Each structure stands twice: as structure tokens, then as C-alpha cells.
Structure 1
Amino acid sequence: MTDTTLPSALSVAIAGVAGRMGRQLVAGAIDAGLSVVGGTEAPGSGPFDRDIGELAGRRLLGIRPVTDPVSAAANADVWIDFTRPAATLAALDALKHTRVSGVVIGTTGLSAPQDAEIARAAERLAIVKAGNFSVGINLLQALTRMAASRLGEGWDIEILETHHRRKVDAPSGTALMLGEAAAEGRGASLDTLRSPPYDGPDSARVPGQIGFSVRRMGDVIGEHSVSLGSDMEIVTLSHLALDRAVFAHGAMQAAAWVNGRKPGLYGMNDVLGLPDS
């Protein structure tokens, strides 16, 4: 069960507050009764002359975006970051100079070395990191792991994801998260089971591998499906996001959960009490 009652005394600072997701996060924090005490935006991006609450379509907060994470997080308990990999890592380093002890990271497109940097930061910070903060997606991840573990290698696994045309990373962080769950169900790592794109005259499917398909079009918020197929039947698990607010809602649950935790790297399974295996 998830607790939708969040502590009103919790103060948060949010990265990228003028962006599409940043505005959703600010709105989600305000709607949840949390105290938004600061926010950042990349130099040259702006607008720096508008109130953060106004940008989110909510009440005025008396706070404008700044470029410095240290200034933005000066009075924050938790830092929330759904920006770009380089910006997220720079912010984690800057948080050493603040009182922040909890971090929520929804940034996608991270490389293995960048993930390693986040793991090192988790030695001093409590970090919840996830490719997707939707409660439904995290349930889908748990179901994918279970299905892959119950169905043998004779069942092919294919993951399909669709997002809006502006998304820059592919496959999505969520699709990779689902792929990792499927690989874990098979007792292996995604690095060893991930299939290259099917393209060209020699693109036959390799048995046991996990395939990915990507679509980019329109303003699709996010569609993900995991299909497991044998010679006789196909099982498909799917999720459709109807409102971007779903990600902000999950992020606020994560922020409330991570506040006061001991340093470490956590996931939404920890927040929601879902099994890891």
C-alpha cells in the first residue's frame, strides 16, 4: 500500500523548473502540500524573471529560478532532479555545500560511468533513483520480472516504447528498466541479453535475447509494453500514461520517503514496498 498523505513540513528544491517536467514537479509539490523553497534552470534558458509557482500554473511562491544549485537548495530537505545527466551530476556535487540529505533522481540517458558517480554520491546522500516514478510502471516492472522468471528461454521477450517526438534518449529509461527486470527474471544482466536493433539482411532474432522497439511521434506521454511469446501464445503486459502529473505524484512520494533515510541508493520498489525479485 502507498501512503498519499505527505508531510507538509517537508521542503524541496527542484531542478529545471522552467522545463516541461520541472513545472509538473513544482505543481505536484504544491498540490501535495510540500514547501517548494528553490529551483534552478540552466544558464541562458530562463525565464529567470518569473515566479516558480507561476511557471507551474499555481500560486506565487515569491521565488524565481536561479542557476546555482547551492543557492536553490539552501533551505531544502530534499533535492528533486529530472534534468540531463551532466546537470544532475553537477548538482549532486554541489549539494555537498547544502543541508540536503535526500535526493530524488528521475534523469534518464545516464551512461554506466555516470551511474557509478551517482552510486558514489549515495555514500553520503540518500538517493531514490528510477527510470520512471509512476506507481503503475513500477508494478509493471515487478510483473515483468515475475513473468520472465516463470517463462523459460523458449519465450521471446520484446519491449516496445512510444514517446513524444522531442524525447532525446532511446530506448527510454523506463524501457531499459523493464528490460533489466526481464533480465533479472532470467538470472542474467541486460548487458548480456540485450538484442541489437533488427536492421539489415542479417537480423535474425537470437533465442533468449531481449529486443527493444522505439517509436517517437506526436505528444505521447509514454506507452510501454512487454510481450513474452512462445510458438503457441503471447502474453503482453502494458502501461499507458494519461497525465504527466503521474510522474510528479510518484516523485513526491519518493521525496517524502527518502527524507531522513540513511545514505544509500534506493529505488521505487523500496518506496512502494514492492519485491526486488
Structure 2
Amino acid sequence: MGEPTRLLIHGATGRMGRALLRLCAERDDCRVVGAVSSRSPAQRVVDGIPHFSAAELGGAPGFDVAIDFSLPGGFDAILAACLARDSALVSGTTGLSEAQQAALRQAGERIGVLWAANFSLGVALLEELVERAAAALHGWDCDIVEMHHTRKLDAPSGTALALGAAAQREGAEPRYSSVRAGDIVGEHLVQFATAGERIELVHRAGNRDIFARGALHAALALARRGAGAYRLRDMLA
């Protein structure tokens, strides 16, 4: 095995950031060289990892890939840092403006970049299967049912809309239904139906660690790629 991939975690005190720090510590193929959060850290070094505030991002050590789960207000700085160091960027920050999305695509001409609303590898594969089904089943009804915990306010979910977009690319016209109940982490069902038969494609998330694992998978795969704007499904092969 070669040298471990050097990771910078941007948004380290958030739920995803904490999960990434915990999961990376259990692996030998990656090493967190810096953790960045919006505020000044209470401790400068935690478990051997130096911590920085967002204002101190320029002083972070060299890294191969940054994993960003922060807020739109911090996105420009981490993208600029990656460009300055010729390092790749994996981001799951939501709410990016059109200008920020355009800047990310442009950055793909120089470095590897990957943005996703959902880092479940299973959902990435589901999106591909939905696209293939829609291409083969012209004229069939397409319905997407998503279920989440009661605290989730947006509906349909971003993942449901992404699955619907995959179906629309092949001519389907998806309809959406949303359920908010209990502590459901996330469930998405895409159904294609016609007279006498139907096909159901389902993904169920059992815990939230799957998203952090998917982001780590994407970061390690992206470190081996050249410049370009990638999707999570591009990292499955």
C-alpha cells in the first residue's frame, strides 16, 4: 500500500465532519492532516489532528483532497484553497448559488471536483438504474415516494428530485409523494407502472454513517483522477 491520502476536513464540527474524523481514524488508506471549522477551535490539536478556524485556512498543511460539508458562506474560500494548492475537492455543501456552482464547474478544468447532494453509494447506483429504466419503459407511469424523519422540513427531498431528474432525462414524467414519520433516516422508492405490471427500485438508509463513508470513498477515488467535474456515480467503477 502506498502513502495514505491526505485529507482536509472543512466543516469539521458539523455532524458530517465529526463522522468523517471518526471513520477516517479507523482506516489506513487516508490521514486527516487538518480540520477546519467556522469558529476558533477550543483545542489546537485533537487526537493528533491540527484544528483551524476558517480564517486560518491558509495556514493548513498540504493536502491531497478537501472534503467540504460546511455552509455556502465558507465555500468560496475552500474552493480557492484547493485551486491554490492544486488539490481536489469533494463537497456536499447545499444551497450553493448559481455563481458558486459555475465556479465549481470552472475549477474542474484545473482540479478534480465532485459535488453531490447525497453521498450514499447505493443512491448513486439507484440514480443510474432509474435512468436506465426510464429509457427502456417509455410511456410507463413514474412515481417517487420518499420517507424521512419528522424533523426534515423540505419536501420532496433533494435526493428524490435528483432521482426524478434522472428519470426526466430519459423522457419520464415523475410524480412525487413525501412521508415524514418517526426517526426514518431516509427511504426512496421509484416505481414504474403500466397495465398489469410494475417495477419498484428502492433504497433504504439504516444510519447516517453511510454518507460519510461515501464521501471518503469519493475522496480517495478522486485523488487518483485528473482534473474534471465528476459525479458520485463516476466513482463507483
Q: TM-score, normalised by structure 1?
A: 0.75
Give 1:246 deviation, angstroms.
Answer: 1.3
CA contact (8 A) 1:105 1:128 kept: yes
Contact 1:164-1:219 within 8 A present in 2 as well: yes
Tell me, what secondary structure is at the counterpart of 2:51? coil
Identity of aligned residues (%): 38
User: Aligned equivalents of 2:33 and 2:153: distance in 1?
Assistant: 30
**SS of residue matched to 1:270:** helix
1:193-238 Cα deviation digits (max 9, x unpaired): xxxxxxxxxxxxxxx5222233444433221111122243332211
1:142 to 103, 106, 128: 128
Matching residue of 2:22:
27
Count of aligned positions: 236
Structure 1 equivalent of residue 221 of structure 2 = 257
* Runs of at least 5 residues in structure 2 that lack an aligned partner in the other structure: none
> Cα gap change, 1:65/1:73 in structure 2, threshold over 3 Å: closer, same or farther?
closer
After the TM superposition, which segments of 4 or more aligned residues of structure 1 sit over 6 Å from their partners? none
SS of the aligned residue for 1:119 comes to helix
Which residue does the alignment assign to 1:269? 233
How far apart, in 1, do the equivalents of 2:97 and 2:181 lie? 25
- Aligned residue among 236, 258, 264 for 2:200: 236
Output the CA distance in 2 between the equivalents of 1:95 and 1:119: 13
Alignment of 1:35-184 (within 5 A): 35-43=31-39, 48-50=41-43, 60-68=47-55, 70-71=57-58, 73-97=60-84, 99-153=85-139, 155-167=140-152, 169-184=154-169
RMSD over aligned Cα atoms: 2.6
Q: Secondary structure at the match of 2:61?
A: coil
> Residues of 2 paired with 1:8 and 1:62: CA distance?
17
Partner of 1:12: 7
Task: Note closer, same or farther for the CA distance 1:72–1:162 as it changes in structure 2 (3 Å cut).
Answer: farther
Q: Does 1:221 align with 2:203?
A: no
User: Cα deviation per residue 1:150-189 (whole Å; 9 max; x = unaligned)?
Assistant: 1112x22122223344446543332222122212232xxx
Q: Which structure shows the higher strand fraction? A: 2
Q: Residue 53 of structure 2: SS of its match in structure 1?
A: coil
Match of 1:234, SS state, is strand
- In structure 2, C-alpha distance between the alignment counterparts of 1:76 and 1:258, rounded to whole Å: 13
5+ long unaligned stretches in structure 1: 1-5, 54-59, 187-207
Secondary structure at the counterpart of residue 161 of structure 1: strand
Q: Secondary structure at the match of 1:209?
A: coil
